[in-house]
Amino acid sequence: MRRKSYEPFLYLTPGVFFLAFFIVLPVLFLLVLSFFRWDMLSGAISFAGLENYSEMFKDPALYNALKNTVLYVAGVVPAGMAIALFIAVQLKGKLRTYSIYRTSIFMPVIVSLAASGVIWLWIYDYRSGILNHLLSRIGISQINWLGNPDTALISVIIVTLWQRIGYNMVIFFAGLQVIPEQLYEAAMIDGAKASGQFRYVTWPNLLPTTSFVLVINLIFAFRDFDQIYVMTRGGPMSRTTTLVYHIYETAFAEFNIGMAAAVTMILFLIVMAVTYLYLNYMGEKA
């Protein structure tokens, strides 16, 4: 059978279609939208030029959202990675009981974020939540976890950690699997203790995995929405309004689609920058 030159492209069509329609076009459309005034309900649409952008930068809500996002990312990513790595190293062995631990740590990952948000709402409940109940047993007075502007963000961060650690752990496991056993044996012969083994064998060999987890976690953290929507609605006092929640509010409560698109472009640029740095870094390594 003679190969025709267009044939490979034919096979690509479905994939290209998918990519074009569900990724490239929406992003382009978003960019276009950010130059328009549109409320989606009344249908009135008009060209705004750069107005959305200039208005956006004048809006203190944007800076508040950026600040919260930075705090949130800083709270979620390093801790989420460190705890997951620690657990992965501890539970690396093949013991039967370990697999029970691993499964239970992974469990939150399969629960939808919205559902776990609801569960945590009950746990955090000021008056009848189990957390405050347990704390009162050890003599700590009740804390209004989600209602107090000073504890709301950290409370959301804890839920995200609870959810994400299992996911990170599994990837770290995969990374640990491929580190040859001989390296550990050699290290042991040289007299390395657990900490030395980690420092000189595990850590350097795990670096590609770690950087992958870092990027994925950064991207996840910038995009987290469900738990905030379910638990705090961006409050109290807008203290848990992250960029994504700010976009949601701008679009669906303020009906300002153009401005929401403009803020989304900011988020898009941030995530792009993270990805670019990562690819660059990986390129150097390879």
Partner 1 sequence: MSFNKVHSGFKVFILFLTALTISSCAERERYADDEITELRFWHGIESPENNLLLEEKIKTFEERNPHINIILENIGAQDSAMPSIMTALSADRQPELLWFAPVYTGRMAESGKLYPAEKFIENDTEFNPEDIYEGILESGRYDGRIYTVPFETNCLAFYYNKEHFSEAGIERYPQSWKELRQTARKLTRHFREKGEDSFGMLIPLGTQEWTVWTWQNFLWQAGGEFLSDNMKEPGFNGRPGVEALKFWKKLVYEDESAVFSERNAGYKIEPFIAGKVSMMINGPWNYPELKEQDEINYGSFPLPENEKKATNIGGENLFIFRSTPEKEEASWEFAKFIMSEEFQAEWAMNTGYLPVNRKAAESEKYRRFLEENPFIKTFVYSMEFGKSRPPVKEYSRISERLGRALENALYRRKTPEEALNQAAEDSEDLL
Find the binding residues for partner 1 in span 236-265 (CB under 8 A).
236-238, 251-255
Please report how close the Cβ of residue 18 comes to partner 1 at its closest, in angstroms. 8
The three-class DSSP label of residue 170 is: helix
Site mask, partner 1, residues 195-234, x = CB under 8 A? -------------------------------------xx-
Q: Is 34 in contact with 53 (CB distance < 8 Å)?
A: yes
Pair 259, 65: CB distance under 8 Å: no
The residue among 217 and 250 lying less far from partner 1, judged by its C-beta, is 250
H or E element, residue 232: none
Q: How many residues does the chain have?
A: 286
Closest separation between CB of residue 53 and partner 1, Å? 19
13 binds partner 1 (CB under 8 A): yes
Q: For residue 236, is the peptide bond before it cis, meaning its omega torsion is within 30 degrees of 0?
A: yes
157 vs 161: CA distance, rounded Å: 6
Q: Does 126 bind partner 1 (CB under 8 A)?
A: yes
Q: Which stretch binds partner 1 (CB under 8 A): 15-23, 175-183, 220-228, 265-273?
A: 15-23
The nearest distance, CB 110 to partner 1, in angstroms, is 23
Task: Dihedral sign for Cα 131, 137, 139, 141, please.
Answer: positive
Q: How far apart are CA 6 and CA 10, in angstroms?
A: 6
Task: State which residue, 206 or 257, has the beta carbon closest to partner 1.
Answer: 257
Binding site for partner 1 (CB under 8 A): 1, 10-11, 13-14, 17-18, 21, 39-44, 121, 125-128, 146-147, 149, 232-233, 235-238, 251-255
